[in-house]
Amino acid sequence: MCKKIVALLLAMAMVFSLTACGGGSSSGKEGSQSNSDELDWTAGADAEGGEVTIRFSTWRKSDEAYFQEIIKRFEEKYDWIDVELEITPDASAYYTNLQADLIGGTAPDVFDMHSGDTMVTYIDNGMIAPQTDFDYMANYSDTGKTATSLDGENYGFLIAYNYFGLLYNKEIFNKVGVTAPTTPDELVDVVNKLRDAGYDGIIYPGKTNGVGIGSAIQLGSMGTENYATLRKGIDDGSVVDISTAEGVTEAFNTLVTYTKNNVYYNAYRGIVYETGMTLFAQEKSALVYSGSYVYGEQDTYFPEIEAGFFPIPTYANNGLCYAEGAQVSCINAAGANLGAAKLWVEFLATPEISEYYCSNAKMFSTIAEVEPQFEEMEMIKNACSGYAIKPLEKFDNEMYWMSGLEKIYEATIYDGTEDIEGLIRVYRSQLEEYDLANQ
């Protein structure tokens, strides 16, 4: 018995001592964003320092040939720098590797990211070098800045952006005698006519996109500024009743209308992106929800189909498209050759390279006055009255409010819950309980 007590006491002592060890490096909660002045931007910036190699990573396997061409041109211009291209085609595996490399100090000098939460976390921890003073900023569009800037600093170069909406099979539309709809009710009518002709509803890859269509419709209904203001307001506790924000009710009503009228393809919650494109290619349906970047991969996904594009109609009735950044090139703040990395990003942002990349990948440029040349460009642009892009956002209380908001999307997209006021009321009481203004 005595031995057992001694063993228990020793175990407790060990755990206690470990608890004490864990706090060794504790400090305040504020982040440690990189300061541009403290970084050595001269390393690898000129030929005097000798030859250097920088690593550039991305998940864009379909753009490998374009990147190889850009690297060739870059190495011709800056002959002391070699660029090693590292591609991990699966985006989730790409992020797992990137995080492990960042922790282990072996991350590439320049790495691509999506504009979003992970990028904010890395910025917060000083892992991404600011690019605010870079030359390209003079030509960088507001669209780019919205997706890559935080608290007045710019942390990456968004090489391109895409419109999100519905791709439709022009041949089937002509055969059935329908045209691209502009209101939710028209879209319901179009889907019904297509169903009567033997085609299924809108292919929504719900499994890959999650509540993506919810964000798309909300951004399309509200516009970037109202969307950002609402989310900031929820986060700082100044907004508890989200129905007061412009476009919110219209967005949820749109989602409910679509679900209630069964406009989507069979079992859309279980559809992954590739399956969705296969079903579209097989002409099981004439409509698929996707980003316009898919035109760059048309030979892979739907080579035989002539596809049109229109924004998802909403009750806001503003014709706005939801737009999303493609990939943001970020500089590893701990990289050994920051000067060379800077030259690479500046090179990516030159008008010639921007036009070359966007024209081939069939995306839209973030550099002022660069008009990429690809067949579908005018058609996509003309289909939308404008676009709303998701901003780079940093929140302090996200863990309290984000899942509740997503639950409303899920209820409207997947369950078609009509009691939107009830959902918003429940959400309001949650926000009031959390009292985020005083967190």
Partner 1 sequence: MTGKNILQIARKKYNKKWKYILVTLPILFFYVLFSIYPNLKVFPMSFYDWSPISSIKTFVGWENYNLLFNIKRDLTVERLGNTLMYVAGLFVIQTILALVLALVLQKNTRKNTFFRAYFFLPMVFSTTMVSMIWAYMYDPNLGIINTILGVFGVEGYPGTDFFAQNAQAILCIVFVHIWANIGYPLTILVSGLNTISGDLGEAAKIDGANNWQTFKSITFPLLLPTLFRLSLLTVTTGTLASDYVVMIGTRTGSVPYETLASWMYKSTAYSTNYGMTSALGVIMFIILSIASLVQFVAIQKIENKILG
Chain residues that interact with partner 1, rule: CB under 8 A:
14-15, 18-29, 31-32, 92, 95-96, 99, 102-103, 118, 121-122, 124-127, 207-211, 265-267, 269-273, 275, 278-279, 284, 399-400, 403, 406, 434
3-state secondary structure 257-326: HHHHCCCECCCHHHCCHHHHHHHHHCCCECEEEEEHHHHHHHHHHCCCCCEEEECCCCCCCCCEEEEEEC
User: What's the closest the beta carbon of residue 393 comes to partner 1, in angstroms?
Assistant: 16
User: How far is 354 from 350, CA to CA, in rounded Å?
Assistant: 6
User: How far is 369 from 325, CA to CA, in rounded Å?
Assistant: 18
User: What's the closest the beta carbon of residue 171 comes to partner 1, in angstroms?
Assistant: 21
Nearest CA to 163 among 351, 309, 12? Answer: 309
Tokens of 11: 């175990």
User: How far is 339 from 337, CA to CA, in rounded Å?
Assistant: 5
Hey, how many other C-beta atoms are within 10 angstroms of the C-beta on 427? 20
Please identify, using beta-carbon distances, which residue of 128 and 367 lies nearer to partner 1.
Answer: 128
Hey, how many other C-beta atoms are within 10 angstroms of the C-beta on 191? 25
Residue 191: which residues within 8 A CB-CB, separation 6 or more? Answer: 201, 202, 261, 263, 287
Give me the residue label for tokens 């209820």: 411
Please identify, using beta-carbon distances, which residue of 31 and 422 lies nearer to partner 1.
Answer: 31
User: What's the closest the beta carbon of residue 8 comes to partner 1, in angstroms?
Assistant: 14
Residue 250: which residues within 8 A CB-CB, separation 6 or more? Answer: 221, 314, 315, 316
User: How far is 214 from 414, CA to CA, in rounded Å?
Assistant: 10
User: What's the closest the beta carbon of residue 140 comes to partner 1, in angstroms?
Assistant: 27
Please identify, using beta-carbon distances, which residue of 47 and 103 lies nearer to partner 1.
Answer: 103
Please identify, using beta-carbon distances, which residue of 118 and 429 lies nearer to partner 1.
Answer: 118
User: What's the closest the beta carbon of residue 46 comes to partner 1, in angstroms?
Assistant: 31
User: What's the closest the beta carbon of residue 180 comes to partner 1, in angstroms?
Assistant: 25
User: What's the closest the beta carbon of residue 207 comes to partner 1, in angstroms?
Assistant: 5
User: What's the closest the beta carbon of residue 92 comes to partner 1, in angstroms?
Assistant: 7
Give CB contacts under 8 A, 24+ apart, made by 315-318. 315/183, 315/184, 315/221, 315/250, 315/251, 315/253, 315/254, 315/257, 316/220, 316/221, 316/222, 316/247, 316/250, 316/251, 316/254, 317/182, 317/183, 318/220, 318/221, 318/223, 318/385
User: What's the closest the beta carbon of residue 270 comes to partner 1, in angstroms?
Assistant: 3
